[in-house]
A and B are shown apart, each in its own frame.
Chain A
């Protein structure tokens, strides 16, 4: 699949920075995008994430693997503060993103969430047309100009490899698309607000093999411009596309490192057993 991504004539950020002049979309040269420091998370007194310390590298695909209920999704939701909607939440520690702690209370959440896109497990198109789905994020951040929106929608539908399939029916409801198409639409929607990080929570688990292959290829292409953090249950998928792997077990990070190193030569006994399929 060819992604017309390098021929970026413009970026949404240029348009967005007009709306919010203080913003600048330049990822710095740090090798780590997100750095988690002593993160502890409790929900109604239950210790869900236990003293996590991990560096998520920039412009790479990081796969978080581990058995069900080990806190993978919770960690992912903490990255864009979607976890805030959970009741009885108590978090301490730091998650640094470009030198700013995203857990600090006074952080402007809507602003932060725009920088961290999310692709969920089941595609979830908003109840509106294909066009409006992609334009939604830009509209809520204040881009009203139809021409600009047209450009953004076309650009990101192309980036998600969906443009050719939908360009003649942009005004039909998004729910009429197939599941695989819907997931690519959701990806385009996330990209349209120009995030720096893309979170994917088992983004391919509800899809058929061909659609999930398409999404995987998209991710591999997208890591040129974005840091991608994905939770996956499929070890084979992690082996295929991960650059960096984090293995979690019962709320703790057991092992984290380069994919080649974790898969070929796991340091921890638990990781070894998990990779061998002794438990899942």
Chain B
């Protein structure tokens, strides 16, 4: 009798400890997983900082012989003579980006308004995947498309109205190609912003007798203004970093462009074209690293600005 009771007690204890073991194992797994993911998240953040520091250290040699102001504002780009003026590249980047945003902003706003305010759901069903495909195309395809279609068009049809001769490899070509690339990004950002507005807001306007267009213009656009700004900033920062497609259509001439029919040389194209070639000149390498640093800082700042605005917008809607 006693023996069997003891036996029973023992088996119960064994079972309990087995359960405890499994339980502990689960806990260990849980903690490891949590910790690991935490470390990985931190690592990716640290990576950004490390990249920034790395770029700065690598570009440091150039500051020994040139001041920051000289580097940024000088237009003399003669690497072999030790002259590194980044103005042509900064100007090129700004020109191309501005041209792209200028023509794409109205189009993407109207597209997004159409899709959120006017379109029936079956239209959305086909347009949304198409936008995703556009956004996902490798940029080299845009570059090829620009070279095959846009360049000849500018050279033969558009430019002759304004100048005697143009190769077609111009700021305009870069702006058009870049615009097409950021179009899907802007449209999908705008759609997200517009659809986050409460329906009651539209109903309030509609029930006063406003047309859809009046409602879109005076209520939807107005209410979304901060969000629109943030999206544009985000799109700009994306556009400034775009490399391959731009490199293929801009002409890559290190001069400050004076019109949209001049060739230009945006910063990413400069880096992609030259890095790895003339590294025998330490100053040249440092100069290219400095170009990368400029891009890095500008894109980082723009991203942060747009995130901050978007965050505030989301909070104010909630």
Contact = CB atoms under 8 A, between A and B. Distances in A.
Contacts of B208: 113-114, 117, 136-137, 140, 189-190, 193
Given A127-B219, A127-B222, A190 B120 contact: no
A126 interface: yes
B315 to A, nearest CB: 13
Interface string B198-223: 10110111111111001000110011
Given A124-B198, A124-B201, A140-B214, A82 B207 contact: yes
Contact of B200 (A80, A113, A122): A122
Contacts of A114: 208-209
B280 interface: no
A82 B209 contact: no
B121 interface: yes
A126 B204 contact: yes
A82 B200 contact: no
Place the interface of chain A in its size category: 20 to 34
Contacts of A127: 201, 219, 222-223
B200 A193 contact: no
A120 interface: yes
Contacts of A122: 200
A124 B200 contact: yes
A274 B262 CA distance: 78
Interface in A87-118: 87, 110-114, 116-118
**Contact-residue size bin, chain B (C-beta under 8 Å from the other chain):** 10 to 19
B207 A126 contact: no
Interface string B173-206: 0000000000000000000000000101101111
Contacts of B120: 87
Contacts of B206: 82, 85, 113
Contact of A141 (B203, B209, B219): B209
Contacts of B209: 110-114, 137, 140-141, 193
A189 to B, nearest CB: 7
A126 B203 contact: no
B222 A128 contact: yes
B223 A190 contact: no
Nearest to A122: B200
B204 A186 contact: yes
A126 B211 contact: no
Residue in A80, A111, A122 whose Cβ sees the most chain B Cβ within 10 Å = A80
B219 A116 contact: no
A126 B206 CA distance: 12
A34 to B, nearest CB: 16
Interface in B60-94: none
B192 to A, nearest CB: 18
B203 A136 contact: no
A120 B200 contact: yes
A136 B218 contact: yes
B270 to A, nearest CB: 43
Interface of A: 80, 82, 85, 87, 110-114, 116-118, 120-122, 124, 126-128, 136-137, 140-141, 186, 189-190, 193
The 9 closest A-B pairs by CB, nearest first: A114-B209, A118-B207, A137-B208, A127-B223, A124-B200, A110-B209, A113-B209, A124-B204, A140-B210
Interface of B: 120-121, 198, 200-201, 203-211, 214, 218-219, 222-223
6 contacts: A113-B206, A114-B208, A117-B208, A126-B201, A137-B209, A141-B209
